[in-house]
Structure formats: C-alpha cells, structure tokens
Amino acid sequence: MNYNLNSLSGKQQKTSTLAGLKKLLQLIEHERKNLLIALGAILTNATLNLLGPFIIGYTIDKYVSHKDFNGVLFYGGILLCMYLVALVTSYFQTKLMGSVGQRMLYTLRNAIFNKLQQLPVDFFNQNKAGDLISRVNNDTDKLNQFFSQSLMQFIGNIATMVGAGVFLLVINIKLGAAALSPGIFIVIFTLITSAWVKRKNAVNLKSVGGMSAEIQESLNNFRVIIAFNRRDYFRKRFDEANQDNYRTAIGAGLANNVLLPVYSFFSSMAQLMVLAFGIYLISIGDLGIGGLIAYLSYATLFYNPLRQLATLWANFQLAMAGWDRISQILSLETNLVKLDSTVIEPSAPLLEFRNVHFGYVEGHEILHNISVKLEKGKTYALVGPTGGGKTTTASLIARLYDPTAGTILLNGKDLRSYDPVDKTNKIGFILQEPFLFTGTVKENILYGNALYRDYTNDQLEKVITDANLESLLALFEQGLETKVVSSGDSVSLGQKQLIAFMRAVLRNPDILILDEATANIDTITEKLLEDILNKLPETTTRVIIAHRLNTIRNADEIFFVNSGEVTRAGSLDDAMNMLLQGKRVS
C-alpha cells in the first residue's frame, strides 16, 4: 500500500477550501458553543462600530450645524458608551478565541499523534521523520494562529463590510453604488488568485518539512559524517534544502502580499469617487455635509477591512495549506487490519507459513510461495546472504507487515485475527538495532509490559533473577536505575541490545525472535546470552537470525533464506556450503 505522503499529495485530488474548512470544523465540533459566543461578541462589536458614523453624520446635520451643543453632548455620550462596549466585546472575543485556538492545537496534535500510532511500519519506511515532525509542529501551529488571531477578525471584517455596504446603499443608492463598484474588481481578483496563493503556501510548507527532515537525518548521522570527514556533504545537503526553502518562501511571501497593494488601490479609488460624487450631490442639495462625512466613514469601514482581509486571506490560505498536509495523515488507515476469523485448526504447529508471498513494493516480490512450519519449544535458525530476506521473514512472523498473498497461522489461527496486545505478548522481537527511550534501565525493561508495571525495584530484581537474567543486569553499574539516553552514549550499543533482550524475555513470549541480537556484544556476554536462551521455558520457540554460524550451532533446524526462497539446510555444514554458494550466486 502506498503511504508516501509526498506521492499522495500529487495524486490525490486537491481538497477545495470550503470542503477542507468543513472537515476542520467537524474536528473541533466540541468548541461550537465557544465559537458561537465569540461570533456573537464580534458581531456586536461590528454593529456598534457601524452605528458610529451614522450617529456622527446625524449629529453634524441636526445639532452641530444648528449649534445645539446639548444634542452634541448627548450623542457624544452615546458614542462613548457604544465604543466602550465595543472595546469590552473585542477583548472578550480575543481572549475566548485564544483559548479555542490553543485547545484546537492540542486536539489536532493529539489526533495526528494517535493516527501515527495506528499506522504500520510501512508508513514510516516511506516518509521522513523530519517531515512528519513539521506536520505535527509547524502545520498545526499555522492553523492555531489563524483560529486564535485571525478567524474572528476575518468574520468581523466581513460583517463590518456587509454592514457598511448596506448603510451606503440605504443612505443614498447612487452614491452607494459608486462607492461599492471598485469592490467588484477586488472580488474578481481575489477569486482568481486564491488557488495560486494556497498552492504557493503548500509548496513552502512542503519545503519546510523537507528541510526539517534533512536536519534530522544529518544530525542523527553526524558521527558518520565526522568519521568520514564529510562536513562538506552535510553543508551541501543542508544548503540545497535551505535554498529550496528560501525560493519557496519568497514565492509564498509574494503570493501572501500581492493582495494588499491591489486592495489599497481600489480602496483609494472608491474614496475619491465618493468624495467627488458627494461634493456634486451637496452642490445640488441632495446630500448634507454630515451625510458626506458619514459616507466617507462608511466607505472607510468598507475598504479598510478589505485591506486587513488581504493579509487575513493569505493567512487563511496558509492555514488551509497546512490543513491539507495534516488531513493527508488523518485520512490514512492501517493496512494491518484485524480479521474477525476465529477458525482454529486442530493439531496445528505453533507457527506456519502457508504459501506466503511478500514484497515491499508492488510488483517486486521479496519472498515467493513460502511454506514453513515451526514447532513449539524448538530453536530455528535463519541464515543466508545479506539481503536474502531473513529479517523480512522475521518481520512477517512479528506481523510488522502482512503477506501480499498466503496466510501465516499462529496456534492454528490466522495471525491477522489476533488482538495486537495478545499478539505482542505471544511474539517477542529483539531488533538488530534496538531502540531505547530516555529514562532508566528499569523503565526500558518494563516498556509495554503491564504485568510488572507497579513492581518495586526489589520485586523486579527477583523476577529478573527467576528469569536467569541477573548476570545481564549486573553488567550495568547502577542496576535498574542506570540512566539511558536514547540518542546519546550513556550506554553502549551492546548494552542497549542486552536491555532489549531482557525486555523481550520478561514478557515470556511463545516465540522469541533474535535478529542479530549478539552482533554488538563481546564473546563472554554472548556466552551469557546463550546460557539464558538455553534456560528459557521448554515451550518457548526461538527464531535466531545470525551471520556468525557459531551462534546457531545448537539450533534444532536451520533454514537457508535467499532469493525469495526458504529451504531446509540440514546440518550446520550444509548451511555453510549453501551460504558460500548463495554469496557466489548473489
């Protein structure tokens, strides 16, 4: 299944702005009450501001021109009260929407992270971690900024524009039509450029994700860069990503700011038309000076929000471009679905590959028609040249992937029908490159193990002793409280493998898979691991992947994996011969 987000963004039909906004509002449905309250506050604010010019024009024509200062003071007091109420409502909606924006940011990031937790390993193989981090952090923040800072301004400006337009037409329809006519050109220009603005912002967000991915990848491999003295390579890769981001940022900046000068030009044209036509109407007695002042105020109230909308519309398109990238993740579903089948075949082996085919990329198979049976309590070894398919076979046993054809049975039941928790408890997997979390040895040993989660150190040490693992724990200076830093050198790679080994063994799995689990440890520690493996419960089936053939000399059965085939190798000498021939063929 294609999980490549960059590939999907090119193939999927672009979501319309309205449809994207609708989906986003569905995600924050629980904020409907707060959004309605904030909407009420901003509409109240817009209404009060719209009444101001009318009252000012009325006061000028009725009281100022007749020198009735009592009337001026009375309406001045009304205006003061109105503007104070408008100030309070503006503050209230700003505070409310700030809270809504932060809660939306929290909800979005939770939704994305929870979705990432549901997606298969295949997804992470096809997408760079840096780009995913950018989507979780940067793209969600763009949405938060729009909702907390711009949304209500956007609505308030539209409400003010509509109200000002109504007042312009009601007071004098001819003058109103003249004042609003430049707005038609603004609407047409906005509709023409909106898709272009959104596209430019989407490209820029993609380049930000690419640069984040490049930084993350380079820093993770910095020791290799230093070892080979290739800082120039690091600088070149970063410079290319930075240059791409620079170019796309320039394009996005141009797109985001192109509306403002256009809006300002038509706004100035409208005010000139109102002034010229208004003076003409005054000269023929159809309009008073107060009316012209009110008209100029309403023209300002109509076109000033348009200037702000030029910026807000660009922010909106940026937020929608970010939402497109976020919704790509939220729309994905795992291909590792749980089947409802409860059919159990009697007298079945512990694990069986039945006519299994698999390929990471469609049309390119790694394994061809594999049929293998593993019995309970036995030790099996998978040998073969590098790239032959050993780790792929082990990954299918652990259900990191599903076969493209055929079936894998565990205890006579389709592996896909097991609950993920149940499956994980039954199958332990020690990876070739174990990953640990920042914390202590104890926290890493108990990761995902609910059985011992509340155990004290003394209780856990007894469990470790009972599992014959005390010799491994003794290799850590501070025992269970030894500090572990996932990305640092607090423990060696070999020690990391030992922690992963203890973590897997303490789960008492039915099947324990060791993928080169002794590759980074010394001979003495390797002997310790071998003794521990020999002391595992008789019911535990061991699947060992190793290049060093001495680690599999006691295996009950050896399988040779190469060129998509899994065949029984017979004795250790036969396996060595097949391995030598396989290397020559490859």
Using only C-alpha atoms, the chain has a radius of gyration, in whole angstroms, of: 35
Beta pairing, strands 413-414 & 427-430: unpaired
Q: Which domains does the chain have, with CATH numbers?
A: 15-330 (1.20.1560.10), 351-585 (3.40.50.300)
Least confident of 234-248, 319-333, 542-556: 542-556
- Chain segment 141-160, per-residue pLDDT in tens: 888 888 777 777 778 878 88
- Token pair 């603005």: residue: 197
Q: For 375-400, b where at least 16 C-beta lie within 10 A, e where not — what string? A: eeebbbbbbbbeebbbbbbbbbbbbb
Angle at 188 between CA 184 and CA 191, to 5 degrees: 140
pLDDT of residue 350: 92
| Closest among 239, 140, 254, 275 to 201, alpha carbons compared | 254
Least confident of 114-128, 247-261, 437-451: 247-261
pLDDT of residue 586: 41
| Closest among 179, 175, 178, 166 to 287, alpha carbons compared | 175
pLDDT of residue 585: 41
Beta pairing, strands 511-515 & 427-430: parallel
Kindly state the helix (H) or strand (E) to which residue 265 belongs, with its residue range.
helix 259-283
Within 8 A by CB and 6+ apart from 328, the residues are 5, 8, 9, 12
Of the chain, the percentage scoring pLDDT greater than 90 comes to 11
pLDDT of residue 376: 92
> In the predicted model, what is the mean pLDDT of residues 71-77?
85
Q: Is the dihedral of CA 545, 551, 554, 559 positive or negative?
A: positive
pLDDT at position 266 over 80: no
Angle at 578 between CA 577 and CA 583, to 5 degrees: 100
**Confidence grade of residue 493 (pLDDT, cut at 50, 70, 90):** confident
pLDDT of residue 315: 78
For 403-447, where are the alpha helices, taking DSSP H only? Answer: 420-426, 441-445
Within 8 A by CB and 6+ apart from 528, the residues are 471, 472
Q: Is the dihedral of CA 354, 360, 363, 367 positive or negative?
A: negative
pLDDT at position 426 over 50: yes
pLDDT at position 334 over 50: yes
Contact 510, 539 (CB under 8 A): yes
